[in-house]
Amino acid sequence: MIDVRLLRSDLAGVREALGRRGKSDVLVLLDEAVRHDGRSREITAERDTIRARVNELSKQVGGLRREGRTDEAEALQAESRVLGEKETTLSAEADTVQAALRECLLRIPNLPHPDAPSGADDSENPVIKGPVNMPSSFADHQRVPHWETAVALGILDNERATKISGAMFTMQRGLGATLARALCQYALDMNADAFEEIRPPSLVTSATLTATGQLPKFADDAYAIERDDLWAIPTAEVPLTSMYAGEVLDETQLPVRFMAYSSCYRREAGSAGRDTRGMLRAHEFDKVEILALSTPEQGPDLLVELRDRAERLIGGLGLPYRIIEICTGDMGQSHHRSFDIEVYAPGCDNWLEVSSVSWFSDYQARRADIRFKRTGQKGTEVANTLNGSALAVPRVWAAICENFRQEDGSVRIPDVLRPYMRGATEIRPK
């Protein structure tokens, strides 16, 4: 959530920054927020005037009663009661206006970083590195879609997953399941030097989902358990971000670094049947997240670090990849600056996003009320948050099945994953 004080101190700058997102409805929300904030301040000023007058009247009434001027005292008391009723009415309006202002602020996206590239949509995301590990050509046996290879090898059984849970659920079997687990353990081990491992809950409250920006805007994409006011997490970023919600950290504690493996749940309400074959899009999948809480000054370097860590994971697998920077028109609601890592899948003949690394400035932390105190200074400041999808299993799994498919239909296991594969170096038909 952006700081409401920015609407008062630099409205033109906020309007310009949000205008770079290219969404007219955002500017409408901004205007609405400005109106609500203006009315809120008017109410505050009016209430202050009323309270000052009531205090003055109270003193006058006491003096008049001591002098025996009862009629005059009662007249002033009557005026005081009218003013009190007006204050009550204003207080009720203030609550309504504040609620409306907060609703607007929750829906207004974050301000893009000045260095974030301008663009209308994902077609204008610039490639900043790569392709890396890209061969001059792919053999015919690598041009087979992963779902065909995986079914032939007996390591993917989406038919039975659908029988159990419905459409867009996947199920890996045998070495396919081992490969999925190996990818997660690999990502955790590669980041254990600097990140504390957390195993967070998979169900969170509405407040927790609001903190990261999924609510209220993306409620349709989340799985809700309405009876208990709980939501299935779309990513471990959600519970990790709120671990220190409502708390004040000391500057010396920052940055705080967490990593987590979790299942992720997404309704994919807007997918409209896209990428439903194989492992590319599913309602449930596994992912490893890395996250940091920081001061504003630490944010830029941490963004680079998280991006480099995600790149090291993908590069270590030997997959062809590239890094793109997300343009303003393609940014997520909470994002201040973002990068995606994509791998090439020759069987799908497509670049697949497998990691997203983002700096949210103070947007999420303000929603979650995560603050820090600088050494030797009074007061507190809102922290910054950063997050990286260190490794999303389904698409990396798919890319391995396509890039490392051998002529006989088997799949070679990348060297870095073999310690987690119980001795397997390749996947062959049973």
pLDDT digits over 269-279, tens only?
655 555 668 99
Domain count, the chain: 2
Q: Burial letters for 257-274: b for 16+ Cβ neighbours within 10 Å, e otherwise? A: bbbbbbebbbbeeeeeee
- What three-state secondary structure class fits 404? coil
Instruction: Please provide the average confidence, as pLDDT, over all residues in the chain.
Output: 96
242/238 Cα distance (integer angstroms): 7
* Residue-by-residue DSSP string for 352-378: EEEEEEEE-TTHHHHHHT-EEE-TT-S
Residues 133, 98, single domain; the answer is no
Structural domain for 247, as ranges: 122-427
Helices (H) and strands (E) in the chain, counts: 12, 16
Contacts of 52 (CB under 8 A, 6+ apart): none
Q: Are residues 209 and 294 in the same domain?
A: yes
> By the 8 A CB rule, do 222 and 273 touch?
no
Domain contains 372: yes
**pLDDT single digits (tens) 304-329:** 999 999 999 999 999 999 999 999 99
CA distance 215 to 267: 14
For residue 367, what are its two tokens? 């929603």
154-187 per-position pLDDT tens digit: 999 999 999 999 999 999 999 999 999 999 999 9
Q: Which of 107, 139, 154 is the last residue of a domain?
A: 107
Joined together, the tokens standing for residue 118 give: 């301008």
241-258, pLDDT tens digit by residue?
Answer: 999 999 999 999 999 999
Whether residue 156 is found in the same domain as residue 268:
yes
Give the integer Cα–Cα distance in Å for 325 and 357: 10
Examine the domain organization and report whether 33 and 95 are in the same domain: yes
Looking up residue 137, the CATH number of its domain turns out to be 3.30.930.10
258 found inside a domain:
yes
Query: How many CB atoms lie under 10 A from the CB of residue 234?
Result: 21
Residues 129 and 32 in one domain: no
pLDDT of residue 274: 57
Q: Both ends of the chain: CA-CA distance in Å?
A: 53
Residues near 68 by Cβ (< 8 Å), separated by ≥ 6?
none
Residue 123: helix, strand or coil by DSSP?
helix
Q: Verify that 200 and 236 share a domain, yes or no.
A: yes
CATH number at residue 24: 1.10.287.40
Query: Is 253 in the same domain as 190?
Result: yes
Whether residues 216 and 101 fall in one domain: no
What is the value of pTM for the model shown? Answer: 0.93
Q: Are residues 101 and 239 located together in one domain of the fold?
A: no
DSSP string, 147-184: HHHHHHHT-B-HHHHHHHH-TT---B-THHHHHHHHHH
What pLDDT is attached to residue 297?
A: 98
| Below-70 pLDDT ranges, the chain | 269-276
For residue 272, the model assigns a pLDDT of 52
Contacts of 365 (CB under 8 A, 6+ apart): 241, 293, 371, 382, 383, 384, 385
Alpha carbons 157 and 393: distance in angstroms, whole number: 16
Indicate the residue among 50, 83, 107 that finishes a domain: 107
Residue 114 lies in a domain: no
* Residue 116 in domain: no
Q: Does any domain span residue 36?
A: yes
113, part of any domain: no
Q: Give a yes or no: residue 112 inside a domain.
A: no
Rounded-to-integer distance, Cα 76 and Cα 65, Å: 11
Does residue 41 sit in the same domain as residue 168?
Answer: no
Q: Read off the amino acid at residue 419.
A: P
pLDDT given at position 267? 92
Residues 246 and 313 in one domain: yes
Question: Token pair for residue 103?
Answer: 């609703």
In the listed set 53, 75, 107, which residue is the last one of a domain according to the structure? 107
If asked whether residues 207 and 284 sit together in one domain, one would say: yes
On the CB side of 295, CA atoms within 13 Å amount to 12
According to DSSP, residue 429 is labeled -
Within a domain: 117? no
Q: How far apart are CA 281 and CA 266, in angstroms?
A: 10
Rounded Cα gap, residues 94 and 42, in angstroms: 10
